[in-house]
Amino acid sequence: MKYKKSYIVLLTVMSILIISLCGCSSNPIIPGTNPNPDVNPENSEVSYIEVTSSASTMQTGETMQFVVKGYNSDSEQVIIDKSKIILWKRTVTGVACPACVYDDSSVKPTSNSLTTTFSSSIAATFHIAAYYKENAGADVISDFKTIQVTSKVKTIYDINSK
């Protein structure tokens, strides 16, 4: 019986190591490519922006990349200048102390980028937002994507470690 327990523990640990070393993840990170189109349409004025990601859920300890894209009034994607992304921000819901979560989660970079990377060691519902401002006199345009962060599933070893 002792032999079977150690074999199961060894197999579980090896599986976890292989998965983590392979970089296998249920939430792949979007490649670091330019999300702008190659050519601007004739109407290149940004009417709205959209924040996108590869998934709407992730586990604690993982990272996910978010991308912002700009669209004109005809819903055609337009080229946006990354220096006009004035802020990437995260807000949280579903926890007793929202202010306490900010030390355990991050958004990097926080401006001047068409992409940002989010990570959290706390399970909660987060809203990742981008803020775009064309020029000093223009209104700020914003959008957000909601992401559900869940706790990692415990292994047999974690449960029976005593």
**What is the tens place of the pLDDT at every residue in 81-118?**
999 999 999 999 888 888 888 889 999 999 999 999 99
pLDDT at position 22 over 50: no
| Residues whose CB falls within 8 Å of the CB of residue 65, separated by 6 or more in sequence, listed in order | 29, 30, 32, 53, 54, 115, 116, 117, 118
- pLDDT value for 99: 84
Average pLDDT, the chain: 83
Assigned CATH for 27-159: 2.60.40.1080
Which tokens go with 119?
């990570």
Render pLDDT for 32-70 as a digit per residue (tens, 0 to 9): 567 898 899 999 999 999 999 999 999 999 999 999 999
pTM: 0.73
Which tokens go with 121?
């060691």
| Residues whose CB falls within 8 Å of the CB of residue 35, separated by 6 or more in sequence, listed in order | 67, 68, 69, 114, 115
Long-range contacts of 107-113 (CB under 8 A, 24+ apart): 111/85, 111/86, 111/87, 112/82, 112/83, 112/85, 113/82, 113/85, 113/88
